[in-house]
Amino acid sequence: MTDLADRPELAPELRLVPHAFRRTFGRPARGVWYAPGVLNLLGGAVKVPAKWGAIVAGDGRDDGLLELVSVNRPVERALLPSGDVPAWAAGVEATGGATLMCSVDLPQGSGLSAAEALRTAVGLALRDLAGTPFDEPHAAALDLPGQRLLVVDTRTRRGEPQRERPFTADLDDLGAALTAYHRAQDPDPEQDAVVRAALRAGARGASTLVDPPGRPAVALVDADLVPAVKKAITKAVEVPPRYLTIVPGPFNTAASR
């Protein structure tokens, strides 16, 4: 059987992680698993997947421990269960034995729930390797032709958690619901500045995103207004943000970074 790292029909990013596993551990990975980053709108009432996410590759082990190694931080290994877990692996639970090489192509707190993507990818791997039950989260299929979800990573990171206030979503008008959600929360100044600037520039709606340790935001924008909204947001904040543009549609495909 051809090693996953050597299969040319696989996407390059799906070969990279098994290759890193083989280079680190001296043996081929038994499998490779992918989970998309998730845009949690309205406190998670609507989940929209993006093409950026988490990939893990590895094999099982018999001692019941879960060993996680990061492609980008190979010296910061996690061996679960343990009280000493590196920040990039925070939130992952040991529900089976495996050794996994992990790659997450989004920074934590950027707005697309990188930690959730890693937890899901690890859960899928453990399910297949050890037969551990795992409920994969379901994402929504939004049909909003001509509109974009503009995710704004303010680059702000804070140690204290951002509390989320209860909110009942009315999904008849997503733009209005986003703005109502924002006004029901207690946003950081950076998030509030992004939302105000986006609305002034013509966004259909905008809101804070709860994705600790970051303080990101999101705006629903007509496609032809995306450049103007980006320009207005960048002008309104002190640190130039990072932007991700997602096309909400029946197949939830993602646009360029």
Q: Are residues 49 and 97 in the same domain?
A: yes
151 and 126 within one domain = no
Residue 200 lies in a domain: yes
Do 151 and 105 touch, CB atoms closer than 8 A? no
Q: Rounded distance, CA 141 to CA 64, Å?
A: 37
Among 80, 96, 130, residue at a domain's last position? 130
Q: What is the pLDDT of residue 41?
A: 94
Tell me if 255 is assigned to some domain. Answer: no
Structural domain contains residue 142: no
Cα 53 from Cα 37, distance rounded (Å): 4
- Do 57 and 31 touch, CB atoms closer than 8 A? yes
Q: Give the range of the structural domain holding residue 238, as residue numbers without chain letter.
A: 147-246
Backbone angle region of 163, left / alpha / beta, with phi > 0 → left and psi within -120 to 50 → alpha:
beta
**pLDDT means over runs of 10, the chain (257 residues):** 63 83 94 91 90 92 92 87 84 88 89 91 91 70 88 94 87 94 95 98 97 95 98 96 85 32
R_g of the chain, CA atoms, integer Å: 19
Are both 121 and 203 inside the same structural domain? no
Look at residue 257 and tell me if it is in a domain: no
The residues, ordered by sequence, that sit 6+ positions from 71 with a Cβ below 8 Å of its Cβ are 16, 17, 20, 101, 102, 103
Same domain for 168 and 117: no
Taking residue 16's Cβ as centre, other Cβ atoms within 10 Å add up to 18
Residue 95 and residue 155 in one domain:
no
pLDDT of the residue at 9: 62
pLDDT of residue 75: 85
In a domain, 253, yes or no: no
Rounded to whole angstroms, what are the CA distances from 23 to 5, 15, 26, 222? Answer: 10, 12, 6, 46
Asked if residue 172 and residue 97 are part of one domain, the reply reads: no
Query: Domain containing 184 — which CATH number?
Result: 3.30.70.890
pLDDT of 175 reads: 96
Question: What is the C-alpha to C-alpha distance for residues 182 and 42, in angstroms, rounded to an integer?
Answer: 8
Number of domains in the chain: 2
Which pLDDT does position 131 carry in this prediction?
Answer: 74
Q: What pLDDT does residue 214 have?
A: 94
Distance of CA 26 to the CA centre of its chain: 30
The CATH number of the domain holding residue 8 is 3.30.230.10
Whether residues 188 and 73 fall in one domain: no
Q: What is the pLDDT of residue 6?
A: 63
pTM for the full model? 0.83
